[in-house]
Amino acid sequence: MSRGADVVIAGAGIAGAACAYELAKRGASVVLLDYGKAGMQATNAAAGMLAPLTETQARGPMLDFGVEALRAYPALVDELQAAVGFDLELRLNGVLKVAFDEALADALRRRCAWQRELGFDLRWLNDAECRELEPRLSEHAICGVFSPEEGNISNQRLALALVRAAVARGATIHERAGVRGFARTRGRIVAVKTADATYACEAVIIAAGARSGQLAARLGVRLPVRPVRGQMLALGGMRAPVRHIVWGPDGYLVPRANGLVFAGSTVEDVGFRRRTTRAGERRLRAAASRLVPQLAAATVHFAWAGLRPGTPDDLPAIGRLPGYENAYAATGHYRNGILLGPLSGRLVAEAMTSGDWSAIPAAFGPARFGTH
């Protein structure tokens, strides 16, 4: 069967769904193809944190992009909620990062100082102030930094909303429709192929998460995106063990709107193996109860794992693929795809519409990986 669209997007996680929504909003005809079910890979596995200050270790384009992404969230969420009619559970009520020893306290103090110099509102808290904010916090926490503007969202609801809103704007989605290959003439992709259909197109976006490198390889393009496994636990059985996101030296806790606390996460280089492990579960339980000792008695409601799309320099890969005039990537968002995916989608759609890519940091360009 042969069909057509202005833009075919390979992958319906948050990155692909955001591109689809933003392109459809600008009047493009869009086909979104997913190998499985939309939003059910890394996007479903995430903790939903929107925390660029807490996550970033240094000044640079990642921090700037992350802060821009965070600040764009409230307007996007209003727009999507109006379109789909359900709550995306955006809660920007702050992140507390704590230290258990002097070495970590020093590192926290330094980060707090340079981020404040950049004008961000961060509050240094002593041990008593930390526990005032989080009464169940371990008494071994000696100090912390509270970042009041950060928070979290339901990543599952957000992904669903982006897909539904894209479809409402005229995009078409096909699930269980993995991209298998491309038809090209010189430096142009003219069609995208699945097992059942060929989609003629004016442009292609590779947004296949951890598998983006494999797809780019079919175009002869080097895009070294690798899977980085993260395991998570959903803990329940206690009323409000934490009120804010709490980060410790070896894990974090995210209170979700449904009353569960997500405890994360491992960072593992194990290829495409997406299973949870007993060792992973043990580590997450230990990290959670180190932060809030009562969580040692919590019930594990679910355990799961996902594959983050990592790159060698931990920066995303957003932009035109070298050697092609109409093939693009929106991937490599690694630990921050929920935060960054919507902004990447908007900037890719704007750039594809205008031809001006200057709003996307040059450091994120896929050409940085060279050709082989």
Q: How far is the CB of 268 from ligand FAD (least distance, A)?
A: 10
Rama region for 220: left / alpha / beta (φ>0; ψ in -120 to 50; rest): left
The one-letter amino acid code at 94 reads G
Rama region for 129: left / alpha / beta (φ>0; ψ in -120 to 50; rest): alpha
Q: How far is the CB of 64 from ligand FAD (least distance, A)?
A: 16
One of 241, 337, 345, 366 touching ligand FAD (CB under 6 A) = 337
Does 13 engage in binding with ligand FAD (CB under 6 A)?
yes
Residue 305's H or E segment, with its range, is strand 299-310
Does 316 engage in binding with ligand FAD (CB under 6 A)?
no
The one-letter amino acid code at 3 reads R
Residues 244, 256: Cα–Cα separation, whole Å: 10
243: exposed, middle or buried (Cβ count in 10 Å: 0-12, 13-18, 19+):
middle
Return the range that interacts with ligand FAD (CB under 6 A); candidates 31-39, 113-121, 268-276, 294-302: 31-39
Nearer to ligand FAD, 98 or 153 (CB): 153
Does 160 engage in binding with ligand FAD (CB under 6 A)?
no
Positions 170 through 229 that interact with ligand FAD (CB under 6 A): 178-179, 207-211, 215
Does 251 engage in binding with ligand FAD (CB under 6 A)?
no
Residues 8, 205: Cα–Cα separation, whole Å: 6
Nearer to ligand FAD, 73 or 324 (CB): 73
| Inter-axis angle of helices 61-84 and 337-354, nearest 10 | 90
**What does the DSSP 8-state code read for residue 323?**
T
Is-cis flag, bond preceding 138, omega within 30? no
One of 47, 77, 288, 349 touching ligand FAD (CB under 6 A) = 47
Does 261 engage in binding with ligand FAD (CB under 6 A)?
no
One of 164, 283, 285, 308 touching ligand FAD (CB under 6 A) = 308
Does 36 engage in binding with ligand FAD (CB under 6 A)?
yes
Closest C-alpha among 189, 222, 205, 224 to residue 16: 205
What tokens appear for 305 in the block? 């794992």
Does 230 engage in binding with ligand FAD (CB under 6 A)?
yes
Does 41 engage in binding with ligand FAD (CB under 6 A)?
yes
**Which spans of this chain sit near ligand FAD (rule: CB under 6 A)?**
10-16, 33-36, 40-43, 45-49, 178-179, 207-211, 215, 230, 232, 264-265, 306, 308-309, 331, 333-339, 341
